[in-house]
Amino acid sequence: MSLPTNTLSDRFNARLAVFRATWSDLPGNVRGSVWMVLCSIAFAVMATCIKLLGRDLPVIEILFFRQMFVIVVVSPAICRGFPSIFRTTRLPLHVLRALLAVVAMVTGFTALVHLPLAEATAISFARTLFTTMLAVVILKEIVGWRRWCATLVGFVGILIIVRPSPEHFNEYALLALISACFVAGVQIVLRTVSRLDRPATIIAYQSVFLSILLAGPTIYLWVTPTWEQLAFMAAIGCVMSVVQWTMIKAYAAGEASAIAPMEYGRLLFATVAGILIFAEIPTIYTLIGSALVIASTLYTVHRNSIRQKPGDPPAAT
């Protein structure tokens, strides 16, 4: 005999209330770490879909459709805030960020399609190393010998993964490095523009400019997708939204120094997806190089998290 509907509903609501209470009682860093693990899983799902689609469709077209689905998600917020949401005194910075983002995405997605998932993901973490260098040159940040040593170790790890030589030159690994460099450029511009404009304004300009920049090349390289491919691209757009949302939730719940290391779960889940779906077994070079890259970036995050005392001069970390 089945239970009355109201009884099932009451039990579900009671268990949901217990879960919410338990979740709220967890330390912020624990909740943030859980969100970041979910973010890493979503990233692996998105990367897998991109790699599958990239065999038959131009990368630029995948990016365009992904952006269209993102537009659908953010358009209600843009409409509610129009026209004030586009009010800015730093329009050139928004244009620059969009241009850097397009190059980063095209090169990064192309590398993702042609490289093993684990290798492409490991190289992408070089963005932290490039960000350190660009912060010194552009933002005039002070970086001490410890962080420079960590950066050097990270680049050694990248060289081990890529193994550049006349006999082992891989143009797709080079594209992955270019992508990491341009992602670092995006982050540097974002540091500046986020001090001047609201997050909603930043997102609105990014959505509009990326759509415009991707439209032309997509028309030129157009390949009519099947319904199945359209479904995959819709999934990529949805999962991308999940990646961004869970990452925001992660950093809102916990401290950056505690949450950032969990992002390396991306490498674990990407490696598992590569093995199970594409039969990609990571090489010893990928494993050793990844360990060095992760160690160097974790140390950089640790040094960045050390707070200065009031009145102290800037620390050369």
- CA-CA distance, 168 to 164, in Å (whole number)? 6
What are the tokens at 171?
């143009």
Contact 270, 294 (CB under 8 A): no
Chain centroid to CA 34: how far?
A: 17
pLDDT tens digits, the chain, 317 residues: what are they? 455 556 767 676 777 776 677 767 677 777 777 888 888 888 888 888 889 888 889 999 999 988 888 788 778 877 887 778 888 878 888 899 899 999 999 999 999 899 888 888 888 888 877 877 777 777 676 667 676 777 778 778 877 877 766 666 678 888 988 998 898 888 888 878 877 777 778 888 888 888 899 999 999 999 998 988 888 888 888 888 788 778 777 777 766 656 666 777 788 888 888 888 888 888 888 888 888 877 777 776 666 555 444 443 334 33
Q: Rounded distance, CA 216 to CA 179, Å?
A: 21
Q: 83: cis peptide before it, omega within 30°?
A: yes
Among 191, 180, 194, 205, smallest CA distance to 103 is for: 180
Cα distances from 312 to residues 161, 167, 170, 303, in angstroms, run 40, 51, 47, 16
Cβ neighbours of residue 132 closer than 8 Å, sequence gap 6 or more: 143, 147, 151, 300
Element containing residue 95 per DSSP (H, E): helix 91-114
Q: How far is it, in rounded angstroms, from Cα 211 to Cα 204? A: 11
pTM of the model: 0.78
- Whole-number pLDDT of residue 302: 62
C-alpha 264/C-alpha 142 separation (Å) is 26
Report how far residue 208's alpha carbon sits from residue 258's, in angstroms, rounded to the nearest whole number: 34
Tokens linked to 218: 């997509």
pLDDT for position 314: 38
SS3 for 244? Answer: helix
CB burial string 133-172: b at 16+ within 10 A, e below: bbbeeeeebebeeebeebbebbbebbebbbeeeeeeebeb
What is the per-residue pLDDT for 179? Answer: 92
